[in-house]
Amino acid sequence: MRIVIIYVMLGSFLLQPVASMIKKSLVSLLALSALVSVSAQAQDNKTLNLYSARHYSTDEALYADFTKTTGIKINRVDADDAGILNRLRAEGTSSPADVILLVDAARLWRGEIDGLFAPVKSKLLDDAIPAQFSAKATPEGTLWFGFSTRARVVAFNKASVKREDVDTYEELADAKNKGKLCTRSGSHPYNLSLFGAVSEHIGAAKTEAWLKGMVSNMARDPKGGDTDQIRAVASGECAIGVTNTYYLARLMRSDKAEDKAVMDKVGIVFPNQSSWGTHLNISGGAMAKNAKNREAAVKFLEYLASPSAQKYFADGNNEWPTAKGMKIDNPALKAMLVGNGGDNFKAETIPSSVIGMNQVKVQQMLDRVGYK
Ligand code: FE
């Protein structure tokens, strides 16, 4: 940059009257100093610009702990997964984002193929996070890391549904469950990832037939979030719902009498314990393609794999930590695993990256079978 400015100054000196030259040089110098100060500010690695789709209040404590430990201040932008990806695309090279946190495998995969992430080379992260939960490692590094998992399970009304009628995902499409099923929109990333996983386990043709069967089993058109499905199962509007585990755990840990009443009526099944296992989705993070505070970004990602951060995920938001060797002690997660295989419940073992990759063909299936 300096060389260019000096060249401009020399050019001015030779070709233009002195007054005009001085004026232009001053403008150039001012522009240069402004640029230097902006870049010094942007790359000081004392601040970290975080775009986060994790909308969980307990994460505040996690960010505060990071700042206390490292002295690096976090500027946070909160939006949902789609909003963050759109913003990164729109901002391009001028994006201030250093780290991105997303809450779904399909979205992480989308960010990866759209070229929004920078590869990270970190022995600490490669050692701590199992390959199943990260993007495929390349010689340049790894594009994203999953830091916590959540299972996508079945919630059923204990009074009207037998547990053995809903202990596989496949049975959600069985005629015996006609008029009982409620889910959020099929196109929601949590469902796209579940359906993408199912298509990996049983193949595309069977998955499409399965989705069609689910559509004809619906008690109502898909709407609302996971918690709405749980409440509808308890009220009897639906008998069977599909939900991420942390929504169940939140209700189980709630002090409100109405939430306790809901969970009294609801049974929980971790499906497919005797076949390919329960579907796991992830929440994960990546360094932004155009990150300025790269050192701070890697530090933050490494921090998320540390025991204290992993404990925040597990205890605060009722998720399972991905880092190797972590023990969790979450009463709600423990309680919901009673009768579901305990701490060693069978989870699927396919890579999260493959689950994300299947979202496009799954969306096409949803359109064909009319799954709203
Ligand atoms: Fe969620």
Write out the chain's pLDDT in tens, 372 residues: 333 333 333 333 333 444 444 444 444 444 444 333 334 445 788 999 999 998 777 788 899 999 999 999 999 999 999 999 999 999 999 999 999 999 999 999 999 999 999 999 999 999 999 999 999 999 999 999 999 999 999 999 999 999 999 999 999 999 999 999 999 999 999 999 999 999 999 999 999 999 999 999 999 999 999 999 999 999 999 999 999 999 999 999 999 999 999 999 999 999 999 999 999 999 999 999 999 999 999 999 999 999 999 998 888 889 999 999 998 889 999 999 999 999 889 999 999 999 989 999 999 999 999 999
- Rounded Cα gap, residues 60 and 150, in angstroms: 20
CATH of domain 46-148+281-328: 3.40.190.10
Up-side HSE of residue 177: CA atoms within 13 Å toward CB? 30
- Rounded Cα gap, residues 78 and 70, in angstroms: 22
- pLDDT at position 242, please? 98
Global confidence as pTM: 0.86
- pLDDT at position 42, please? 57
4 CA → ligand 1 middle, Å: 50
330 CA → ligand 1 middle, Å: 18
120 CA → ligand 1 middle, Å: 26
Q: Is 172 helix (H, G, I), strand (E, B) or coil?
A: helix
- Cα dihedral sign for 60, 64, 67, 73? positive
274 CA → ligand 1 middle, Å: 27
Up-side HSE of residue 361: CA atoms within 13 Å toward CB? 15
- Cα dihedral sign for 118, 319, 330, 256? positive
Cα–Cα nearest to 132, from 320, 330, 334, 339? 320
Q: Are 86 and 60 in contact (CB under 8 A)?
A: no
Q: Per DSSP, which regions of the chain are E strands?
A: 47-52, 73-78, 99-102, 117-118, 145-157, 181-182, 240-244, 266-269, 280-288, 320-321
243 CA → ligand 1 middle, Å: 9
245 CA → ligand 1 middle, Å: 10
110 CA → ligand 1 middle, Å: 18
Residues in the chain: 372
Q: Distance of CA 154 to CAs 33, 172, 255, Å?
A: 60, 9, 23
CB neighbour list of residue 118: distance below 8 Å, 6 or more residues apart: 141, 143, 286, 287, 288, 289, 290, 291, 294
CB neighbour list of residue 181: distance below 8 Å, 6 or more residues apart: 172, 214, 217, 218, 219, 238, 239, 240, 241
How confident is the model over 23-59, as pLDDT tens digits? 444 444 444 443 333 344 457 889 999 999 987 777 8
- Where in the chain is CATH 3.40.190.10? 46-148+281-328, 149-279+333-369
How confident is the model over 140-153, as pLDDT tens digits? 999 999 999 999 99
247 CA → ligand 1 middle, Å: 8
39 CA → ligand 1 middle, Å: 36
9 CA → ligand 1 middle, Å: 56
How many Cβ atoms from other residues are within 10 Å of residue 129's Cβ? 25
80 CA → ligand 1 middle, Å: 10
189 CA → ligand 1 middle, Å: 10
Q: Are 121 and 88 in contact (CB under 8 A)?
A: no
Structure tokens at 52: 């986060």
Largest CA-CA distance found in the chain, in angstroms, rounded? 92
CATH of domain 149-279+333-369: 3.40.190.10
190 CA → ligand 1 middle, Å: 8
319 CA → ligand 1 middle, Å: 11
Q: Distance of CA 46 to CAs 31, 40, 62, 70, 288, Å?
A: 24, 11, 17, 9, 17
- pLDDT at position 36, please? 36
- Rounded Cα gap, residues 242 and 191, in angstroms: 9
- pLDDT at position 60, please? 87
270 CA → ligand 1 middle, Å: 18
52 CA → ligand 1 middle, Å: 13
